[in-house]
Amino acid sequence: MSKQPVSVLTSRPDERPSGAPLACCAPLAARALSTEEAVTVAPLFKALGDPVRLRLMSMIASSAEACVCDLTDAFDVSGPTISHHLKVLREAGLVDCERRGTWVYYWVRPQALESLGTLLGAAGGAAG
């Protein structure tokens, strides 16, 4: 079967994408974000701020890749609504995708997930 790439395809699941959305930040508890860092990070949190998108992200991240057919069936919203939410996650740089025949498969961009983890990680010795 030939692979038809979707226009937003930038990496494979096992590659580290160049131009990742967040390659910057020390943990929030270590120091305050700069204005530039906050501008870079805010769209990621905005994308994850919707319950459907947060659940989609969780479903995609819990496997190597997820077919849109499986993602759509897990929600009580229409297919176009799921497509919109997936587009928001793609545009934020959190996931990537590839069309294979009729279906589109999604995977988490590893560097985006690692960067968010670093940002949210607790700094040793931080007051709490």
Does the pLDDT of residue 89 top 90, yes or no?
yes
**More reliable by pLDDT, 99 or 9:** 99
Mean pLDDT in residue range 91-112: 95
Banded model confidence at residue 60, pLDDT cuts 50, 70, 90: very high
**What would the pLDDT profile of 5-52 be if each residue is shown by its tens digit?**
333 333 333 343 433 444 567 788 888 888 998 888 889 999 999 999
Residue 66 three-state SS? strand
Residues 84, 89: Cα–Cα separation, whole Å? 9
**Class in CATH terms, 33-119:** mainly alpha
pTM assigned to the model: 0.74
**What would the pLDDT profile of 63-83 be if each residue is shown by its tens digit?**
999 999 999 999 999 999 999
pLDDT at 128: 46
CB 32 within 8 Å of CB 119: no
Question: What is the side-by-side order of every strand in the sheet holding 103-108?
Answer: 3-4, 95-100, 103-108, 66-67
pLDDT at 24: 60
